[in-house]
Amino acid sequence: MLNIILFGPPGSGKGTQANLLKEKYQLLHISTGDLLREEIANGTKLGLEAKTLMDKGELVPDEVVVGMIQSKLDANKKAKGLILDGFPRTVKQAEALDQLLGELNSPINALVSIVVDEEELKQRLLLRGKESGRPDDQNESIIENRIKEYKNKTTAVATYYENKGKLHEINGVGDVETINKLICSTLDSMSKF
């Protein structure tokens, strides 16, 4: 099993890279952002509650996302491995994840942290906002709030896995293909695989 976390600030390329990696390594891709947007599109109660927070650039409660992950794991017991994109975003989520994976005897192998400077992040997200109309990419103050949430609540997740010897940092500025090669060579060089 290869279980990896794709980590980084909003706009760092997690979703973009996850889509490439899931093909190459035949992994189940779980994006909590995509799952939440699906709930919003379906007009569920969970979706309506999450939308208020997401539109402001705030994180949704830990119990909500952990519950979504648990359901996904339950529904995909035969998966060959996981690529987690946008999860965990708090240390509480990381602890809950480790417990769920512990029960399956299939721990996280690596956290790949995609490093991108703040100005580049803002430019990418504003551009996506123009092209896709995604509400949380629409203006600079929401984007700044997402980056603030990342700094305050999410960066500690990298330290949590660093303490377990599982942190791998990748330069996330450059073309998508080059960054993908960097991630693949990191994963391929990990002795277990």
13 binds ligand B4P (CB under 6 A): yes
**Pair 8, 14: CB distance under 8 Å:** yes
If the CB atoms of residues 124 and 166 are measured against ligand B4P, the closer one turns out to be: 124
Written as one letter, the residue type at 83 is I
Cα separation of 36 and 60, whole Å? Answer: 9
**Hey, how many other C-beta atoms are within 10 angstroms of the C-beta on 110?**
22
Q: Is 33 in the site for ligand B4P (CB under 6 A)?
A: yes
From 32-40, 70-78, 156-164, 181-189, span contacting ligand B4P (CB under 6 A): 32-40
Beta strands across the sheet bearing 81-85: 28-31, 81-85, 2-7, 110-115, 167-171
Residue from 51, 146, 166, 168 touching ligand B4P (CB under 6 A): that is 146
Q: Return the number of the residue (87 or 160) whose C-beta is nearest ligand B4P.
A: 87
Structure tokens at 73: 């794991």
Could you give the CA distance from residue 167 to residue 169 in angstroms, rounded to a whole number?
A: 7
Number of residues located near ligand B4P, criterion CB under 6 A: 28
Give the nearest distance from C-beta 123 to ligand B4P in angstroms: 8
Interaction site with ligand B4P (CB under 6 A): 10-16, 32-33, 36, 53-54, 57-60, 65, 85-87, 89, 93, 124, 128, 136, 146, 176, 179
